[in-house]
């Protein structure tokens, strides 16, 4: 995994698949073309949960089959809990799903591309790197 790799959060994928935000579309397309995109299974789970048909599920499966998935340790939830505890001590208690995604990005030294403001709080309090639109 390259330190140039970018983990794309659910919020960005939703915008991308809707095709309405041209800024997100072009950035994600460039990242995909440069083979910089990585994924975490939890993001897929969130997208599958929001699918409205079997056809959408098949589309998502086909799309994500070509994107490398970040591996997580067997005890990931224990580690995410400790990570959340450390953030709470600094004044911010994240949602567990967001903490999982942030923890995985930090552990793999990849940048997170999101529009979810909760991650901005985590980035201010720790080593989470956020992708900045140019």
| pLDDT tens per residue across span 102-113 | 999 999 999 999
Distance separating alpha carbons of residues 18 and 74, to the nearest angstrom: 34
pLDDT score for 58: 96
Indicate the helix (H) or strand (E) that contains 132: none
Q: Which pLDDT score is estimated for 134?
A: 74
* pLDDT tens-digit map of 31-69: 999 999 999 999 999 999 999 999 999 999 999 999 999
pTM of the shown model: 0.93
Which residue from 90, 101, 124 is spatially nearest to 8, judged by alpha carbons? 101
Full set of structural domains in the chain with CATH: 6-125 (3.40.50.1010)
Give 96's pLDDT tier (boundaries 50, 70, 90).
Answer: very high
Q: Is the pLDDT of residue 2 over 80?
A: no
Quote the pLDDT of residue 57: 95
- Distance between start and end Cα atoms, the chain: 23
Assess contact for 43 and 74: CB atoms under 8 A.
no
Are the CB atoms for 90 and 31 separated by under 8 Å?
no
């Amino acid at each position: 995994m390259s330190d140039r790799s970018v983990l794309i959060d659910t919020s960005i994928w939703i915008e991308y698949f809707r095709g309405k935000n041209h800024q997100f579309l072009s950035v994600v397309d460039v990242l995909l073309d440069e083979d910089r995109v990585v994924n975490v299974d939890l993001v897929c789970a969130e997208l599958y949960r929001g699918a409205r048909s079997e056809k959408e599920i098949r589309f998502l499966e086909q799309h994500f089959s070509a994107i490398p998935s970040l591996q997580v340790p067997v005890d990931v939830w224990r580690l995410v809990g400790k990570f959340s505890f450390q953030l709470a001590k600094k004044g911010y208690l994240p949602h567990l799903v967001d903490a999982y995604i942030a923890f995985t990005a930090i552990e793999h030294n990849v940048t997170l591309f999101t529009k979810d403001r909760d991650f901005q709080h985590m980035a201010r309090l720790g080593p989470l790197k956020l992708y900045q639109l140019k």
